[in-house]
Chain A
Amino acid sequence: MRQVEIFNLTKSYPNPYGETFRAVVDFNLNIEKGEFVGLIGHSGCGKSTVLTMLAGLNEISDGGIIVGDSEITGAGPDRAVVFQSPCLMPWMTAFGNVMLGVNNVYPHATKAQRKQIAEYALCAVGLADSMNKRPTEMSGGMQQRVGIARAIALKPTVLLLDEPFGRLDSLTRMELQDVILEILDREKITTVLVSHDVDEVVFLCDRVVMMTNGPAATIGEILSIDFERPRERTSMMKDPLYYQCLDHLLSYLTERAHLRTDPRIHDSSNLLGFTGAKVETAK
């Protein structure tokens, strides 16, 4: 079942001289219900732009986005976002930060029910013991966990992650990747992850969307990662397919990201790596 449909999505920013700067052009993508889609590309290509438009935080210049069965018009709790920085309210505890959204999204639930939802979300990210801590008393990793808890407590139809682990050290990042996987295996929420860490997207995603370089960035290739769920890091890392996928993504980023072709679809049957693969030149 199709959950998200992005068609001809275009974003142009006005520059200070009155001309328009086209950051993203003709971005077309369909996302299935429960699917985990990764979005990678070089810095500045427009990944965040696409994601914020999907979140409704950034105006759409042309094209449109349909979530469920209606076109989006603005931000809303059905599309929860986890930002790169945790964006917690420093004057509220972890619990308070989660409750802020819960109170608003479940206005008809009783107080006890709302409390239960928030506590459940915090337990899911492993913060059962730190609910009453303030952000200033928490490490960056813990703060990001609160950010994730705040998002999943909203029971969103789509979960949007914009480099949520970008500022964390690699150990914490792996921990949080496991946390996310665990939650998604249970809740089956449609998810879009922006990242420039190829390991991360291969490990987490069902499909990886590779964006061409900006300006006027669009989709270059799409790669399906054919691993079963639930996934387990160590066994995945023993599989040669894992490295072939990594190679494909890296070779895209280093060799093909500047090319303008129609989007190419790849899966385990037609992977391109650093070696052996012939690349067609641009039209």
Chain B
Amino acid sequence: MSAKYTILKGIDIAGLNFLSPVVRLATGEEPAKQMKEIGRLIVIPTLAFLAFFWLWAVVAPKHRTKSGEVPTPSVVWDARAGIWRFHNYETAKQDGFLLQGKERETELARATARIAEVGMLEKIARQQLTAAREASTVKFDTTVAPAKNAYDTLREISRESRKGRTAALKAEAATLNTATEEARLAFLQKLRDTQARTEIDKLELAKLKDRYEEAQEITFPEVKDATRANTVLAEEKQFLVKYIDMLGKDSRELKLAAAKTKLKETRTSFLTATEGDLYRLGSGIIKNEKFIKTTASSKYAKPWTLPKQIVRSLLCVFAGFLLASAIAIPIGILCGLSATFMAAMTPFIALFKPVSPLVWLPIIMIIIGGFMPDPENNAFLMFFDKVPFIKNYKIDPMFLSSAVTVALCSLWATLVNTALGVGAVDKDHMNVARVLRLGFWSRLFKIVIPTALPLIFAGLRISLGVGWMVLVAAEILSTSEGIGKFVNDMYTNGSSESFAQMFVVVFIVGIIGMLLDRIMVVFQRLVSFDSAVPAG
């Protein structure tokens, strides 16, 4: 097989069909047709996306909330950078705290140089902000003030003229005592006209008011940008101050060194001390030794950052997914094999499948809490503290509850699909098995499971998707560290910055969900023997 077809086959298996016209075009196969395909599979979706962004950028600022206006795509993009900066700063602090010797000193020098630089930049940024503010005041005066004047003047005029008209009409009314019917009707008409006039004035006034308010609402992008630049620099400076401390006086190395010198001193005095001081110095030594021991293994208590929370969410969803598969596949196989067992399971499936994760979670939290009254010393949880990689993600009862909730909500798709797949075993294949007198286990592993595998994977794919969706909800409710917790924190925070960061999460969750689905599609295709699996 040529390289081209290997590539095309890979693309097909991965379900990335939009790439295949590109490959075909690159090899000069029917260019006109490929261009058409590229238009359909790449250009149109891209245009649709751009249209979506444009619409978003236009519509979002129109709605004001207590956390500021709904963020536009560019604000969300900046928020993403903010999340990433926070993560990098915290990681740097964590690493800096542990640096030693020469390395620590060079890093310290670098950070000190940078802080001076940042100070300079900050000064410039502040000037720019002041300038932008001034410019904006001028602009404000030139646009808003005239609009306000126009509005105020017209309001005054229309009020005066209305007063005049009313007075004139009242005066005329006084003269109508003896007037004829005609004269009276003419007066009524005049009254009508005057009121119509007032309505017109009102409309005019409302128009001017709108214009005035619009002018007031003009935001000044220069000021916004300058403010943001300032904030970014201020953040960096704050970080650097802390960072320099951690590399300098608060670094583990220096703390340890100081403690050791002190220990040595106390020891010398202890050896020569008289009875009065002996007790004090002795316990001082012991205290110091303890301090050295804890410091030697201490670490910077890094707060949870979004990247770490994402990894924890992934761990959680996989834990739940594995649990779901471990339950659903065997039960599904039993259901498919035995109509009786299926009949026994049907009410459970029908009853529990529609239950929302928000109902399961509190119940499961309480149940798991019952198993682990003392999570700090629980043997099962402590086991995870020894597993490399996983030990960094603090497996706690909240994590387990979220994982079990994910499992409970996602296992149904796999169960039902497995049962269907097993039930759909070809009658002819079963006849072959009878002729060959295959035993139960060979039938199961050589015929039943291979037949059912594509459907099992279709079920697993749905399960993983459902699980990922359920997980974020579960984390929000259980405040288990993860993407959901991040969203919850941002919601509680309520600033416009955190509002934008929630939008970032939408995209992160979406992209990860999409990748998980892609992976499952690949597996599903690899176990399917003939028919193509829909990619959508």
Contacts and interface: CB of A to CB of B under 8 A. Distances in A.
B431 A87 contact: yes
B448 to A, nearest CB: 11
Given A87-B428, A89-B450, A100-B446, A75 B530 contact: no
Interface in B194-221: none
B168 interface: no
Contacts of A101: 435-436
A91 B450 contact: yes
Interface in B414-450: 426, 428-429, 431-432, 434-439, 442, 446-447, 450
A83 B431 contact: yes
B445 to A, nearest CB: 11
Nearest to A97: B432
Contact of B447 (A56, A76, A89): A89
Given A87-B429, A90-B530, A80 B435 contact: yes
Contacts, number: 57
Contacts of B447: 89
B529 interface: yes
A89 B429 contact: yes
Contacts of B450: 89, 91
Q: How big is chain A's contact interface, by range?
A: 20 to 34
B431 A91 contact: no
B435 A79 contact: yes
A134 B450 CA distance: 14
A56 to B, nearest CB: 7
Interface string B458-499: 000000000000000000000000000000000000000000
B453 to A, nearest CB: 8
A101 B434 CA distance: 10
A104 B431 contact: no
Contact of B431 (A81, A90, A92, A136): A81
B435 A75 contact: yes
Nearest to B449: A91
B523 to A, nearest CB: 15
Contacts of A76: 435, 437
Interface string B508-536: 00000000000000000000011000000
A104 B434 CA distance: 11
Given A87-B428, A89-B429, A91-B450, A104 B438 contact: yes
Interface string A69-91: 00000111101110101010111
Interface string A84-117: 0101011110000000110011000000000000
Among B435, B438, B446, the most chain A Cβ lie within 10 Å of the Cβ of B435
A83 B434 CA distance: 13
A57 interface: yes
Given A56-B435, A100-B436, 12 more contacts: A75-B431, A76-B435, A77-B435, A80-B435, A81-B431, A87-B431, A87-B432, A89-B432, A92-B446, A104-B438, A104-B442, A154-B436
For the complex of A and B, the 5 pairs showing the least CB-CB separation, nearest first, are A75-B434, A90-B529, A91-B450, A87-B428, A101-B436
Interface of A: 55-57, 74-77, 79-81, 83, 85, 87, 89-92, 100-101, 104-105, 134, 136, 154
22 contacts: A55-B435, A56-B434, A56-B435, A57-B431, A74-B434, A77-B436, A87-B426, A87-B428, A87-B432, A89-B446, A89-B447, A91-B450, A91-B453, A100-B438, A100-B442, A101-B436, A104-B436, A104-B437, A105-B436, A105-B437, A134-B529, A136-B530
